[in-house]
Structure 1
Amino acid sequence: MTRSPSGLWATLGPARAGALLMIAAGALFAVINALTQYVTMMQGVPSARLAFWQYFIAFLFSAPWVIRHGLRAMATNSLWSHLMRVAAATIGVQLWIAGLAHVPIWQAIALIMLSPFFVTLGAGLILREETTLARWFAVTLGFLGGMIILAPWSERFSIYALYPVGAAAFWALTSLLTKRMTRTETPESLTVYLLLLLTPVNFGLALGDGIALDLGLSGGIVLLAGVLTALAQYAIAKAYSIADAAYLQPFDHLKLPLNVALGVAAFGFVPPGSMWIGSLMILSASFYLLRQESRTAQMAAA
């Protein structure tokens, strides 16, 4: 259930406001990915150090909200579930940033779009949800598209290309744990535990390479990436608070051309034709699954 927007968002209307917020979030993440790739590939900043500072800065921007809701939200009967969820989110973040240090943006962002299919697979295994023929068809088509983008049979294949796939899998696990925990946990509890636990875990992982932040160009870029991460997360949360998730999903897919365009402009990463074929298969599978699930929901409601 979505809330009625207020202020500027009320003037625009929930549908238009939600779409604009999702597009803005996608644009912000495209910039974040380009900045991440620059400081890891060109400046040699270790990916674990970057992950710590990026999300620590985002946490600082969220600190007032955490303080306001923290004491009330700390009550929980599922501490181990919170720890598992944070562990999955942390591994996903580490794999994603490590992947951006080695593979082109277009390939990373296309492969991260496999996450909904991992969610569909896990829904049957973890949540015991019914796995319909339509879901299996969408999962198969999506993974075939992913294989075309990976091209493990090609001489250009790199093991680092599997990092975004791993990130997609662990972020899917995070989503599945979140959905399961909503049965007993409040949204405040889920948010506070994620923010409070993610930073120290990233800190521990970054200790091996050192956490000292350069005060020069690379440090400034890392700081900017952290600020933009906080803004992008807010834009997504705001979008989902005023518009339906099913309606917003197609606008989230616009992150692919946005990232490709920035990758070409900033690094000269021109994707091959196989990327567009694989991405088309992933998008087609996503929209097919979305249409089938919406139709099923409408029939159930009727």
Structure 2
Amino acid sequence: MSSLNGPIFMVASMAGFAAEDALIKTLAVHLPIGQIGIFLGVGGVLVFAILARLQGHSLLDRQALRGAVLLRTLAEVFAVVFMLLGIALAPLSVVTAVLQAMPLTVTLAAALFLREPVGWRRWSAIVIGFIGVLMIVRPGASGFDPYVLLPLGAVVALTVRDLATRRVPASVASIQVSGWGFAAAIPGGVILLVLAGDPAVMPTAADWGLQALALLAGILGYVALVQATRVGEIGLTTPFRYSRLVFGMMIGVVVFGERPDLLTLAGAVLIVAAGLYTLTREMRLRRRVLPR
């Protein structure tokens, strides 16, 4: 199998997720954002329930309400709330750029809470990445947009989710975890509806079509991501996760008329550079500890 298959699947996955974000942002003009989340959650659960059944598993499992799995799902609920609000209210290019800091926050949290060793080089990369985030968010600056803090909330929640995932028992199938992740969009959407006080709106035929496309893009993105991790070498495939930044920026500029300024672009470059360095450093350290 070609070594390019992993990167190709990864780029396709990131394109799918970027398309899903764009469709959600488009729909948020016509529909309450919480209602969109509920639709995506219900649709995703139905699809993954079928996939799980085909693999001999069920989403109706007591393990979903225990320990690390429950913590992961709760974190996913908060991630949905912050992510949907961020997509709807903040520039898509900014949301996409801030989300790229997640590998750095996972490394930071793993060092602080799981006592994983992190050397001074990766600590330096984390600091540089967070400087990039500050360049994008710019708290305290004139014209500060508080909505750009929403993707930061999503990053925190997704970091908790990823740490909890490391503690999920091996007896829990990946397809089950994925299904429960989609299910988290349902209570997340309900929370948004209640907080906003928006009544549900009957979607038009066009809205139904866009929602279906968003669901399809998200599911295809997930399937491509799974394939990328299965057939590709980690060191070669993982850097292509940052292609989502390219897609997000392009969609923001072309579709939504956004104009990221030089400081935002420079911050995004710092985040990506820090993330790539952290990845290469981790790969190098893993090779050192492998038995010869």
**TM-score, length-normalised on structure 2?**
0.89
- Out of 284, 293, 300, the residue aligned to residue 289 of structure 2 is 300
Residue in 2 aligned with 1:47? 33
- Out of 84, 87, 97, the residue aligned to residue 84 of structure 2 is 97
- Out of 255, 278, 285, the residue aligned to residue 266 of structure 1 is 255
- Give the Å deviation of 1:55: 2.8
Residue in 1 aligned with 2:160? 173
C-alpha distance in 2 between matches for 1:58 and 1:71 = 14
Would the aligned equivalents of 1:57 and 1:227 in 2 still touch at CA under 8 Å?
no
Determine if the alignment matches structure 1 residue 114 to structure 2 residue 71. no
Residue in 2 aligned with 1:5? none
C-alpha distance in 2 between matches for 1:185 and 1:141 = 37
Residue in 2 aligned with 1:16? 4
Would the aligned equivalents of 2:6 and 2:229 in 1 still touch at CA under 8 Å?
yes
Would the aligned equivalents of 2:68 and 2:167 in 1 still touch at CA under 8 Å?
no
Determine if the alignment matches structure 1 residue 281 to structure 2 residue 274. no
Unmatched tracts of structure 1, length 5 or more: 1-9
Distance 1:191 1:71, change over 3 A: same
SS at match of 1:156: coil
Residue in 2 aligned with 1:4? none
After superposition, the C-alpha distances for 1:217-261 in whole angstroms (9 at most, x for unaligned) are: 233212211121111111111111111333212111011111111
C-alpha distance in 2 between matches for 1:86 and 1:214 = 28
Residue in 2 aligned with 1:124? 111
C-alpha distance in 2 between matches for 1:155 and 1:219 = 40
Determine if the alignment matches structure 1 residue 30 to structure 2 residue 53. no
C-alpha distance in 1 between matches for 2:60 and 2:88 = 36
1:62-81 equivalent positions in 2, closer than 5 A: 62-68=48-54, 69-71=56-58, 74=61, 76=63, 79-81=66-68
- Give the Å deviation of 1:280: 1.1
After superposition, the C-alpha distances for 1:206-227 in whole angstroms (9 at most, x for unaligned) are: 5534455513323321221112
- Give the Å deviation of 1:33: 1.4
Residue in 2 aligned with 1:237? 226
C-alpha distance in 2 between matches for 1:275 and 1:174 = 27
Residue in 2 aligned with 1:254? 243
Residue in 2 aligned with 1:3? none
C-alpha distance in 2 between matches for 1:271 and 1:238 = 32
Q: RMSD of the alignment, in Å?
A: 2.3
SS at match of 2:69: helix
C-alpha distance in 1 between matches for 2:45 and 2:65 = 22
Would the aligned equivalents of 1:53 and 1:222 in 2 still touch at CA under 8 Å?
yes
C-alpha distance in 2 between matches for 1:234 and 1:187 = 12
Distance 1:192 1:109, change over 3 A: closer
Could you tell me which amino acid in structure 2 is paired with residue 273 of structure 1?
Answer: L
C-alpha distance in 1 between matches for 2:188 and 2:142 = 34
Identical aligned pairs, as a percentage?
A: 24
- Give the Å deviation of 1:160: 1.0
- Give the Å deviation of 1:138: 1.3
- Give the Å deviation of 1:283: 1.1
- Out of 22, 34, 42, the residue aligned to residue 56 of structure 1 is 42
Could you tell me which amino acid in structure 2 is paired with residue 27 of structure 1?
Answer: A
Would the aligned equivalents of 2:18 and 2:248 in 1 still touch at CA under 8 Å?
yes
**TM-score, length-normalised on structure 1?**
0.87
Determine if the alignment matches structure 1 residue 133 to structure 2 residue 109. no
Distance 1:190 1:58, change over 3 A: closer
Unmatched tracts of structure 2, length 5 or more: none
- Give the Å deviation of 1:131: 2.6
Distance 1:108 1:77, change over 3 A: closer
C-alpha distance in 2 between matches for 1:244 and 1:289 = 17
How many residue pairs are counted as aligned between the two chains? 287
After superposition, the C-alpha distances for 1:66-107 in whole angstroms (9 at most, x for unaligned) are: 223334993649713222110101111211110111111111
- Out of 87, 92, 110, the residue aligned to residue 74 of structure 2 is 87
Would the aligned equivalents of 1:73 and 1:188 in 2 still touch at CA under 8 Å?
no
Would the aligned equivalents of 2:24 and 2:87 in 1 still touch at CA under 8 Å?
yes
Bigger drift between 143-152 and 49-58 goes to: 49-58
